Amino acid sequence: MRKNPIFFSFPFLSNNIYICLQIIAFHRPLESSLYSLNFIFSLPEACLLPKTVGSCNEKIPLWYYDAGSESCESFTYGGCLGNNNRFVTKEACEQKCINLNVCELSKDEGPCDKPTIQWYYNKENSRCEQFYYGGCKGNANRFETRRECEKSCVASVVHGIH
């Protein structure tokens, strides 16, 4: 029997920080509930928060922005509480906390040996090009199709967004 969801909303407004936390609880495993959390926040403040593993005993691999090293690092999240400085992927962390436009990043094949054909934006040639992605790590300048790459990078360069 599925229970009715419980909705909580907590808006906070202070010193140009806007945090809107919406929790939808369906009494399901924590891993799937993690994706039901929606955070809207001012990036610099969230990215400057310390790594907080939370108080529960789950072992969820996530990423946080380390302001000291100015990079995204992996950590094990306990599953509850914590703060907004946590991301499901390294790429998501980099996009939010490292003020780099993904289209400005150089091609990065990553260290693994499970190559697949991907696309990246080559800023030197101002176009999307194919490359072999090794299957792990790398960076966010990686797209599954040429169309995705062009939609993300070429169109925005033409319109002067970058």
pLDDT at 79: 92
Q: Convert the pLDDT of each residue in 39-81 to its tens digit.
A: 333 445 778 899 999 989 999 999 999 888 878 999 999 999 9
Instruction: Please tell me whether residue 162 adopts helix, strand or coil conformation.
Output: coil
Q: What angle do CA 121, 126, 129 make, to 5 degrees?
A: 40
Residue 94, pLDDT > 90, answer: no
Residue 119 pLDDT more than 60? yes
Q: So what's the pLDDT on residue 24?
A: 34
Residue 151 banded pLDDT, cuts 50, 70, 90? very high
Asked whether the predicted pLDDT for residue 155 surpasses 70, the reply is: no
Q: Can you tell me the mean pLDDT for 140-155?
A: 90
Chain-wide mean pLDDT for the chain? 74
30 or 155: which carries more pLDDT confidence? 155
Percent of the chain, pLDDT > 70?
A: 67
Residue 156 CA: distances (Å) to CA of 99, 118, 129, 131: 16, 20, 16, 21
